[in-house]
Every structure is written in C-alpha cells, then in structure tokens.
C-alpha cells in the first residue's frame, strides 16, 4: 500500500508530530476523536448517577421560564444533580451553609474543578434555594474563587490575513472572516440567519446572544462581496451557514477544525481558537482609534470594564512608551 505502519502500543503522538511537522501536514483528527470517546466514557462512568437522579420539582422549568441559555440549563441541571446525589440521605431544605461550603471545598481539593466550574456549581445551588424555593440570599457568603485576571490572546492583522488566505474552501473563508470582522462568538455565528444580513445598512443583526441580548455589528464591504458569491454557490435555505444536511445549522466543532487547519497551513505554531478572532477584532478596532463605547456595543458587553481589558493588549498605547534600555544603548555607542 506504499505506506509505513507503526505498532499502536508503541506509538506516541507528540514526538511523531514534532519530527514530521516541518515536512508534512498531519491530519490526526480521527485519532483525536478516539481519545475524546475514551474521555467521554470515563466522564459518563464517573457521573453515571446523573441519569438516575431526579431534579426537584420546578428546577428545570424555572430555568426555562427565565430564558437561561441551553448551555447554562445543561450545566446547572448536571451540577445540581451532583449536589442532590451527594446529599441523597438528607432533606435539601435541612442542609446547612457549612455543609454546602464543605461540599464545594471537597470538589476543589479532591476533584480539582476549575474556578469557573466552581462558580457555576455555586450558582446552580443558589438558584434552587433562591429562585425555586424563593428563599432569602443566605448563600451569598459562600466562598468564591478569586477571578484570574488573564489577558485575552490576540493575533496581529498579518496573522489574521495569513489564516484566512489559507482557506481554499469559500464557505470556510466566509466563516472565519465573519467571526473576525463582526467580533462574533462561535454560538452567535452559528445562529446567523440569512435575514440577519442587512447589506443595505452594512450591518449584521445578532439575536438572543449572551444574556438574551440583541445587537448589531459591522458587515465588512469586502466580506459582503464574498458572501454574495458564497450564496450563489451554496444556496443556504435558512441559516447563513448550513451543515451537510440542507436546512440544518453548521456544527460548532467544524469551526474549530477549519481554523486549526488554516492556522497550521499558515505556519502559525501557537494554538488559535475562534474566540481569539473576536479578541483580535476588538483589539484592532482600539488600535485604529475606535472609541471603547462603540467597541462595547459591537461586542455586546454589558459593562465597559469588560471592554477595557483590551487596552492592556493594544500596542497603540505601548508604542508611546520609550524603553529606557534604548537610551542606555544609545549613550554607550
């Protein structure tokens, strides 16, 4: 078959990848899927009790009434089932605040849950006592993790260009271009309908985004030309980007896959995620002199403090600062 074989038991992906990465493009997506299946099975085994654990009456219903997103509903219900299972020998209304604090502490110490998961689990518990049971806010004193102040990872305009230009597939090029040029979250891109493209106004409507908020963002003139060609070629029925089955929305995992592939072909060796395109959009707008208030509206941020984080990664402000080492070197020559 004109190929080499490696014994599976002796195969290690990382050294294999490092040896060949400069000589060939390696598509190991099938191998990655097998790892994901194994990990998923272990998760299901660890939390097999969830399918047998019943939620208190009204928990899921009130989540839906309050229009929480599907992702939040899935997280809250799963995490609260864990809580119910842990205290399965106790009445929920008799559980003390100290017991809940101990439960959260055990998850942090013994299960190494992340800070964001810790917060979500606390919120899932609070939701039951405060919204379902309509109790007072007795749980607000639960110790929460300190928020890590991580700066967003951004790409340069040159890197964005290299990535987009590596997309030979027209649909893929339109997808990555739209995420970047409108500052979209991945879920927002998947929800864009044909009727959301307002070509006459140069705007895109994003409906029921994070926090169930609608907003408008920019529609690039260059991208609009591409989208017209794309529409004639693909003829989407309802969603702007459809999957293999006509009328069904594009899948979230496919976006990551096409971005990873384009990034590798562009010769960029750092990990690039769809959300980095959104961060890059905001940072590049700021460097162009766009007012933070407008960037906040385009991104759909509820608070200006969230948008202000991009000032820390913008080179526009850094360029104004003269490095003292340059003076030292200049005086020594």
Q: Are 313 and 284 in contact (CB under 8 A)?
A: no
pLDDT in tens, 249-276: 898 889 999 999 999 999 998 999 999 9
Look at residue 17 in the predicted model and tell me its pLDDT.
66
Kindly tell me if the per-residue pLDDT of 159 is higher than 80.
Answer: yes
Highest mean pLDDT among 24-28, 276-280, 309-313: 276-280
Kindly tell me if the per-residue pLDDT of 186 is higher than 70.
Answer: yes
Look at residue 18 in the predicted model and tell me its pLDDT.
64
- What is the average pLDDT score of the chain? 84
Is residue 317 annotated as a catalytic residue, yes or no?
no
pLDDT band with cut points at 50, 70 and 90 for residue 197: very high
290: which residues sit within 8 A by CB, 6+ positions away? none
Mean pLDDT (whole number) for 1-22: 70
Q: Are 250 and 242 in contact (CB under 8 A)?
A: yes
Look at residue 38 in the predicted model and tell me its pLDDT.
37
Look at residue 13 in the predicted model and tell me its pLDDT.
65
Look at residue 81 in the predicted model and tell me its pLDDT.
94
Percentage above 90 pLDDT, the chain: 50
Is residue 216 annotated as a catalytic residue, yes or no?
no
More confident position, 138 or 242 = 242
More confident position, 109 or 60 = 60
Running DSSP on this structure, what letter comes out for residue 90? S
Domain boundaries, the chain: 50-132, 157-318
Report the CATH number of the 157-318 domain: 1.10.443.10
Fold (topology level) of 50-132: DNA polymerase; domain 1 (1.10.150)
Percentage above 70 pLDDT, the chain: 85
Q: Considering 60, 210, 215, 257, which one is annotated as catalytic?
A: 210
Is residue 5 annotated as a catalytic residue, yes or no?
no
Which range has the worst mean pLDDT, 7-11, 12-16, 156-160, 199-203?
Answer: 12-16
pLDDT in tens, 91-126: 998 998 888 888 888 888 888 888 888 889 999 999
User: In this structure, what are the phi and psi dihedrals at residue 281, rounded to the nearest 5 degrees?
Assistant: -55, -50
Is residue 310 annotated as a catalytic residue, yes or no?
yes
In 199-309, DSSP assigns E strands to 203-206, 215-218
314: which residues sit within 8 A by CB, 6+ positions away? 283, 286, 287
Q: Considering 172, 278, 279, 284, which one is annotated as catalytic?
A: 278
pLDDT band with cut points at 50, 70 and 90 for residue 43: very low
Q: Are 229 and 170 in contact (CB under 8 A)?
A: yes
Quote the Cα angle for 66-196-63, to 5°.
10
More confident position, 141 or 213 = 213
Kindly tell me if the per-residue pLDDT of 191 is higher than 80.
Answer: yes
Instruction: Look up residue 307 and give its two tokens.
Output: 């948008």
Look at residue 305 in the predicted model and tell me its pLDDT.
86
31: which residues sit within 8 A by CB, 6+ positions away? 13
Look at residue 178 in the predicted model and tell me its pLDDT.
96
Mean pLDDT (whole number) for 76-83: 94
Kindly tell me if the per-residue pLDDT of 61 is higher than 60.
Answer: yes
More confident position, 330 or 270 = 270
Is residue 284 annotated as a catalytic residue, yes or no?
no
Is residue 278 annotated as a catalytic residue, yes or no?
yes
Q: Considering 50, 126, 153, 185, which one is annotated as catalytic?
A: 185
């Amino acid at each position: 078959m004109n190929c080499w074989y490696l014994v599976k038991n002796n195969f290690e992906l990382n050294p294999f990848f490092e040896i060949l990465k400069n000589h060939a493009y390696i598509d190991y997506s099938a191998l990655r899927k097998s790892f994901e299946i194994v990990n998923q099975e272990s998760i299901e085994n660890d939390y097999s009790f969830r399918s047998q654990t019943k939620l208190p009456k009204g928990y899921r219903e009130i989540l839906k009434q309050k229009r929480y997103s599907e992702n939040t509903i899935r997280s809250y219900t799963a995490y609260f089932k864990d809580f119910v299972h842990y205290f399965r020998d106790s009445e929920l209304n008799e559980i003390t605040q100290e017991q809940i604090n101990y439960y959260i502490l055990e998850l942090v110490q013994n299960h190494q849950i992340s800070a964001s998961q810790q917060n979500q689990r606390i919120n899932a518990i609070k939701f039951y006592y405060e919204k379902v049971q309509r109790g007072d806010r007795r749980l607000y004193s639960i110790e929460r993790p300190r928020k890590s102040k991580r700066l967003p990872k951004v790409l340069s305009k040159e890197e964005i260009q290299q990535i987009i230009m590596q997309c030979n597939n027209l649909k893929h090029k339109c997808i990555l271009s739209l995420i970047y040029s409108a500052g979209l979250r991945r879920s927002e891109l998947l929800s864009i309908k044909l009727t959301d493209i307002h070509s006459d106004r140069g705007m895109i409507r994003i409906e029921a985004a994070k926090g169930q908020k609608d907003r408008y963002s920019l529609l690039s003139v260059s991208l609009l030309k591409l989208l017209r060609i794309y529409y004639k070629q693909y003829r989407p029925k309802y969603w702007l980007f459809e999957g293999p089955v006509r009328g069904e929305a594009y899948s979230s995992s496919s976006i990551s896959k096409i971005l990873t592939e384009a990034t590798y072909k562009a010769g960029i060796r750092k990990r690039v995620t769809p959300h980095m395109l959104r961060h890059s959009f905001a940072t590049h707008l700021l460097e162009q002199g766009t007012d933070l208030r407008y960037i906040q509206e385009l991104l759909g941020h509820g608070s200006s403090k969230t948008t202000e984080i991009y000032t820390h990664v913008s080179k526009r402000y850094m360029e104004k600062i003269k490095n003292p080492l340059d003076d030292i070197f200049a005086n020594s020559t």
